[in-house]
Amino acid sequence: MYGVCDKPILLSVVVVEMSSAHLRASLLGLVLLLATVAAVRGSDDTVYLAPGVGSLLRLDRPFETVLIEHPQVVDVQRENDRAVVLRALAVGTSSVVFIDEHSIAIANIRVVVSDAKT
């Protein structure tokens, strides 16, 4: 009435094989994604400064480019390919992202400038 029994079993095997292949591809994608996130993340730190104060920041890896989220809050002076001086210009927060020669973000530093007396 429903046909030969081999077809549903064969379809089930194909579905299992496709699911297994899909699972392997998903796991591979997840591993690659996590490796990329680790490479991109580099360093995520926060630096606290008072207005008018500077701080030397050293990186573990050389960088090519610096991106400043709010240049009115912090200025970055390059010392060499692994060090900069962060200068607090105004109260606020800004991200400073360091990009290497392969256009990969190697560090994302959050700069918090506050004149609070502690």
Residues 82, 100, single domain; the answer is: yes
Same domain, 59 and 31: no
Residue 24 and residue 51 share a domain: no
Neighbours of 96 (CB within 10 A): 23
Same domain, 53 and 26: no
Q: Which domain holds residue 21?
A: 1-41
User: Torsion-angle region of residue 70: left (phi > 0), alpha (psi -120 to 50) or beta?
Assistant: beta
Do 73 and 109 share a domain, yes or no? yes
Q: Domain count of the chain?
A: 2
Digit-coded pLDDT (tens) for 20-73:
555 555 545 544 544 433 333 445 799 999 999 999 999 999 999 999 999 999
Do residue 26 and residue 80 come from a single domain? Answer: no
